Each structure stands twice: as C-alpha cells, then as structure tokens.
Homo-oligomer: A and B are copies of this chain.
Amino acid sequence: MKARIISTGTELTIGQTVDTNAAWLAQQLAGLGVECSGHAAVPDDQALIHDAITAASREAEIVLISGGLGPTPDDLTRFALADAMGVGMWSDEASLDQIKAFFEQRKREMSEANRVQALFPEGAKPIENTCGTAPGMHARVGDAEVFVMPGVPFEMKQMFDRDVRPALSARTGGGVILQHTLRTFGMPEGEIGEKLADLMKRGRNPTVGTGAADLIISIRLNARGASAEEARGLVEADAAEVRRRMGSFVFGEGDETMADAVAKLLASRRKTVSTAESCTGGLIAKQLTDISGSSAYFVQGVVSYANEAKCRLLGISPGLIASRGAVSPEVAQAMAVSCRHMAGTDFALSATGVAGPTGGTADKPVGLVYVGLADDQGVAVKELRLGDSLSREAIRDRTAKIALNLLRLRLTEHA
C-alpha cells in the first residue's frame, strides 16, 4: 500500500515555514508499514490544491492532506477536495455545533467566518477536532482514501493519532517498516558504497542507503516485515553485518552525535577530559557539555583565543608562539599537555587553526588546523587541511568532530 502526503499553505511555498508536518506524517506511515512515495507542498490556490489531490490519488491508495481548513479566505482545501471528487458542498450541523461549543467553552464569540468550517464536500465524512475549530475530512477520490487534517501541527497530530492512524492500521493488517540508522565517521561515502554494495542492491529487504551531512555518513536500514518482530530481526541482522564490516568507523546509532558517543565512553570508563581551544572558540567544550550529567567527565575548558591568553591560561611560552606560530603542531601539543596537567584530567583535547574566512596566509591557509590529544602516554597531534572553500562554521564544526573522534578512538582502544 502506498501513500502520498500533501501540505497546503503559501507560507510553505515561499519558505517562511519549514514543512515539519510532512516529515512527521511520513514517520507515522513508515511505522505503519505504509510506503510513502512522495510529499507535495502547494500554495493556497484552489486549482493547484485540486491538481495535487488528483495526481496523488492516481498514484497512491492513501492521501494525507494537512492545512487549508481554517475560516479565512485563503483556506481552500475543502473546495479543492470537492472539485477533485466532482461534487458540491453540504453543511454538517453536528460539526457546526462543535465549533460553536469550542468558542463557548472559551467564552468567545464565534465569528460568522467560522461557519465555513462546517462545510464538507458531499460524500466526505467529518473528523472531529478535539483541540481546535477545524474538523477534518475523510473522503474517497477515485480509488484513493483521502484524509484531510488541520495544518496546526499539534491539532494535526492529535487528529492523526485519534482517528487516522486507527483507520490506516485497519487497512494494512500488520505490515511494519522498522528504521535503524548507524552513524559513521572517517570513511568516505564512496568507499562505504563499495563495502556495502551487496546490501545496497535495489529490491533487497532491508533496504540500505547512505546519507552525508557535515562529515558524518549515516547508513540507514529499513526493514519490512509482516510483524514488528520479523522487521526487527531483519534490521538487527543487517545492522550487525554493517557493524562487522565498518568496525570502529561506526560511532553511534539513531541521532547520536559524536559528543554523545564520546560522553558515553568517558562515563562508562570513568575517565575525565578538559579542553584548550583556540580556533574552535569553546565549541568542543560546548558539545561535551550539551549532555546532561556532563559534570561526571568534563572538568574545565579554556578558550585561549588571543596569543597572550595562550600564555596566561596555559603557560605556553611566548618564545614558542613567536618561533613556530600560534597555528603549529608544537603549540597544539603544548596546549593539550598543559591543559591536561592543569586540569588534572585523564585526557585533554586542544585545537588551534585558521577558521577563516580571513586570516589565512600562503604558509598557513584557511582550513589549516592542528588538534592535539594528551593522555598519560603522551600527546598526539593531527594536522587537518580542511580547505578554504568551507565556511568558518563548517571548519569549526569539522575540527570539533575530528578532535572528539580522536578521543573516541583512543577510548575504544583502551577498552
């Protein structure tokens, strides 16, 4: 069974609002084992909404629509649906009573404009709205079953949970899609594609796909089963196989961040960390303390941004900075060693570099960064050449991830 999602609203098509309704509905469909073959967002335009409903109902058995049920002149979904069904409108007294009751309960006057919210295409069934004035609709267009819900996210979600999900569930009869995501760091996407080529072949169950964002490559598994158990068995078998092939390149699951992964390892091994940052300006400390309970492993950080700050806060010798430059492996090394010593932590991370877009030279271009990791065995420094085409934000973000990944790998070895 296939479904399509339609979101209506000019605020979406001019980009003033990001369409989170479609993503939420898509997640619910996946959980029900219903394949979603596409979303569409259309402006408040009766003809365009009509076109979208007609197209979707030809391609899918289920069409979920949100938005355009309000009382104002730009709320046109009910009329577009009637056009698509080829019918006229009727007014539902029971819905009108509910809308009136909604206002009375809040001691407010119902405006005449709200009467339109009790109008339905002939043959469409009202769906009660338990937390707003706009009732939903359940209708048939050609062979497709169409559900219309309000655009306000929490009203839409309540209506879906209360009425639409049970209706869909009754139609599916148990098929379930389970999603699982493994997050990897350090292996290029092309290489992952080669390593997992057989698993990524089209038509397999589970399907395996990759997606890249800010150096992190996610490997997504989607298993379809007659039952949740069957789907879970399939997804777990594939996840284990992917983990076996990818080894320590896998750092987490779901939406775990690199800092989450490091935090877990530090906490479980009862180790502590401190940070000495220059170009990242506090980002590494911020990420390590994003997590509740971070006081178990994070002791302190310094943002030694100016050269004098490196000397003052970390006791780096001004001579070293003068001879090697603040952006140098020697300074990264000294920052990490001194930071660890002063904080009394098991590990210390340091970063110094040129985050740009200004400040680069031929010798030390934008994107040149040194990250250091000190522990009881000594100190390791890694040179990064992130390139001058990245934004400052991207250079800082990648530096933080690479530094945290160094620590992650060290903690994994220590296991």
> Which residues of A does B touch, CB under 8 Å?
9-20, 22-30, 36-45, 48, 52, 55, 70-74, 105-108, 110-114, 130-131, 151-154, 158, 177, 179, 181, 188-194, 197, 200-202, 207, 209-214, 218, 220, 222, 275, 277, 280-286, 288-295, 298-306, 308-309, 312-313, 342-343, 355-359, 385, 387, 389-394, 396
Contact = CB atoms under 8 A, between A and B. Distances in A.
A39 B13 CA distance: 7
A104 to B, nearest CB: 11
A352 to B, nearest CB: 12
A286 B282 contact: yes
Contacts of A218: 11
A303 B394 CA distance: 23
B13 A26 contact: yes
A344 to B, nearest CB: 8
A128 to B, nearest CB: 11
7 contacts: A12-B26, A15-B26, A19-B22, A40-B41, A158-B389, A282-B289, A282-B303
A281 B305 contact: no
A71 to B, nearest CB: 4
A157 to B, nearest CB: 9
A340 to B, nearest CB: 13
8 closest cross-chain pairs (CB), A and B = A281-B289, A15-B26, A282-B282, A282-B285, A15-B27, A111-B190, A301-B303, A300-B309
